[in-house]
């Protein structure tokens, strides 16, 4: 299963490079089901892997002129604030097991994976549906960007997911970007949020296997170079529905697996 996990890690980067998101949706299930990492620790590992991979991709897109710093700042600052509150305050207060009376209890690991599966299903809808054309003459709407940025921070904090499925549509409709600019700016936001979130966990004393982390990040990094190269030849927007159906199936599978195990 580990061999399959390393192979699957390549697609974390390819997805981020091609469509500016989706990589984090794959990362936690890969870590949990193929590498048998505890779900809570997997969210921390995901922050590092996705953050480092997205940062590599952001550098590439910056050189290509595909990053809008001002719009990214509207997103990044509120999302980082909510992310740190979730990981340093809320997540640490969730017990390992939550009991409902004397006959029923649910583990924190199960809660994380079911919530992650719900997130995957929500993300799949965003990917599958057809995006409307963006009106370029309209102004950037910072309030909407700040609000969605705060929501993305909460998602990233709880589940270790970058939130690209929310960031891309927000940049298209509220920052009036072209698709390639939205992809590049999304990678910058994801990299910024995820790496700072990971740093927060390091400061909290979370024990980690850095050799394992760097090996997965290296493979995902190769994937993002492939994805960025392919983005010059392939319209990532056309591939999003296909990836969305895959994410939908995976989300349903995870819910079924967690509820029947």
Cβ 83 vs Cβ 197: under 8 Å: yes
More confident residue, 182 or 24: 182
Task: List all residues 6 or more positions away from 229 whose beta carbon is below 8 Å from its beta carbon.
Answer: 17
Which of 49, 27, 11, 67 has the alpha carbon at shortest distance from 189?
67
Query: Taking CA 168 as the corner, what is the angle to CA 163 and CA 169, rounded to the nearest 5 degrees?
Result: 110
More confident residue, 9 or 133: 9
Give residue 193's pLDDT.
84
Pairing of strands 104-107, 97-100: antiparallel
Domain extent listing, the chain: 2-260
Q: Is the pLDDT of residue 236 over 70?
A: no
Distance CA 216, CA 75 (A): 27
Distance CA 5, CA 25 (A): 14
Q: What is the DSSP letter of 89?
A: I
In the numeric block, the tokens 């740190």 are attached to 84
Q: Give the three-state DSSP class for 261.
A: coil
The per-residue pLDDT for range 115-141, each reduced to its tens digit, is 878 888 877 887 777 655 444 555 667
Confidence of residue 72 (pLDDT cuts 50, 70, 90): confident
Question: Considering the entire predicted model, what is its pTM?
Answer: 0.77
């Amino acid at each position: 299963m580990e061999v399959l996990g390393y192979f699957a890690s390549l697609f974390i980067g390819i997805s981020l490079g091609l469509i500016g998101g989706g990589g984090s949706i794959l990362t936690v299930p890969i870590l949990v089901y193929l590498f048998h990492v505890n779900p809570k620790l997997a969210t921390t590992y995901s922050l590092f892997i996705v953050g480092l991979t997205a940062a590599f991709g952001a550098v590439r897109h910056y050189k290509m002129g595909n990053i809008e710093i001002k719009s990214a700042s509207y997103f990044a600052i509120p999302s980082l604030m909510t992310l740190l509150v979730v990981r340093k305050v809320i997540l640490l207060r969730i017990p390992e097991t939550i009991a409902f009376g004397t006959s029923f209890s649910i583990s924190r690991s199960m809660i994380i994976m079911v919530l992650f599966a719900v997130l995957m299903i929500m993300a799949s809808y965003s990917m599958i549906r057809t995006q409307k054309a963006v009106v370029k003459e309209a102004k950037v709407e910072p309030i909407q960007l700040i609000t969605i940025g705060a929501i993305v921070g909460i998602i990233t904090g709880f589940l270790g997911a970058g939130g690209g499925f929310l960031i891309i549509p927000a940049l298209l409709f509220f920052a009036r970007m072209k698709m390639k600019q939205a992809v590049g700016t999304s990678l910058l936001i994801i990299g910024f949020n995820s790496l700072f979130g990971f740093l927060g966990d390091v400061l909290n004393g979370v024990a980690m296997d850095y050799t394992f982390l760097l090996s997965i990040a290296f493979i995902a990094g190769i994937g993002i170079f492939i994805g960025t190269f392919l983005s010059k030849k392939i319209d990532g927007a056309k591939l999003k529905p296909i990836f969305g159906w895959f994410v939908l199936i995976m989300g349903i599978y995870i819910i079924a697996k967690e509820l029947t195990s």
